[in-house]
A and B are shown apart, each in its own frame.
Chain A
């Protein structure tokens, strides 16, 4: 059995009596590309927030690289080697593209509490490398808030990569993108994760995207995990067809 990088055991969260995530257990192997799908409101984003420590779980356990992270604050989890992108774009709009990446490097390398070095001269080479990797080098001096939506998503990926993650959680990486932007972004994500041997866990509503890159798919419905398997198995699964893909398929 391959090494598990992430294990979630019986995690549960309810908001004012509404059970958003109900006793979900899952595990992700090192190096795997894994997707979580499910209709709107299935609890995908909540599950991500539970894993990354943004909201506390009512019960259950999350283990990352063998360390119990259930009670850890987000910044500590991030520093253990977990990167994340958010569903609505989450960048630093009034900083340049370059500064966005640079700041993430500063934080990751533990330089943030240095009060007297000149930040502008730090990690320039690394920043350029990441910008090249996500295809934004030509925009490095642009205010990131004025980038197009697709580019902002790419920048967000760059910010996540700056913390050199072993596991990357992407929450709907192509939400709101045009078909062309979607293709580009997916190609980019696939390329980067293969190059760096990243483990990838992502949610996505675009089935074409999911079936094209995921090695394993988890299906969430009304807060419960209802199926799990390869793309082929998921396509054949009767229950999934019923609740998610629609009866007609």
Chain B
């Protein structure tokens, strides 16, 4: 294989693996803020126990997220040096802002969140939890801004120095609020909230099924399902708005998502099916006019097909189609699961529906799969461009690499990530089997409130 293919595989592998963790940090961060907030408000020690338990899972995901995240920052320079020279002026400021505003905030207050339970007051601890959560969200903001600039560049001009062209900023805010950044940020955040919520749901449902830690599990399940349902519904709104944005600014990508080869009005939406690349058509169950309706709120609206683009400018259709439809399918499944769960929970019969609890146990996979497929769709759909319309992916490669060197690093990363993933699953399972600590039902040290002391003395 050549340097290009190996570098693409390596970037795909390292970003795909890395992206298992940040959504968990963001989503669990929100869950921790809610749990600790409920504890401060209701003074029910069950919420304290919940926050303590999930803090440990948070620490585990955070450590791997940080370790695999540095790889991403380095790889722009190691494998995609020409791209880095081209975008540095634009992309770099977003990355620097991410470091200064997000990473410091996140990792600084993480110290208090993890190790400060007995050292600071409840309010200071809660504040720290909020800051960690905020930092995690900020980190998503800047990296999504940078990636969105690669999808829909704005606020720049091309300048040539010594015969080498590069993009330079003309308007910082136009770069930050480029046409796709806010839609995509919201989409990414909804996905992250779902990821955190359904992890809590899954573990709690499993405890209920195994009749362990029942008070803890039932309360956690309710909190998780509520957040999960809200996030899943918001994701629907966000997906709809994202699709319209893609149709407007990256029509080739939308056409590839739907396998739409010919520009047409009354464009159909494929519910299930596959792309027949040879005959340039989609085989499957289609809803006529729905794509036109989603894109322009009018079933007769014209949707641009792939025929409007030179064959060299088209993304891989089959892959884009599969990733995109996979993501949408999982998204709708999550809404259905969350609605069923909330409905039965509201009717107070959820804990008797064992079949649904089993589905909830496996629901943790849904958002993770959708996150991965969504990013595959977004990045594959941008091809053949690394920066849409400005630079093709092969042009972004480092000029001095040899295939052997990249193959070495690829094998190394594959091995290490396989090891990390195994250990992560093993330790997470260990944590789940161990369950919440009973002693966390009695907050200690500075966390104790006077009335709790007396209550425990009475009991």
Q: Do A and B truly interact?
A: no
Residues of A within 8 A of B (CB): none
Residues of B within 8 A of A (CB): none
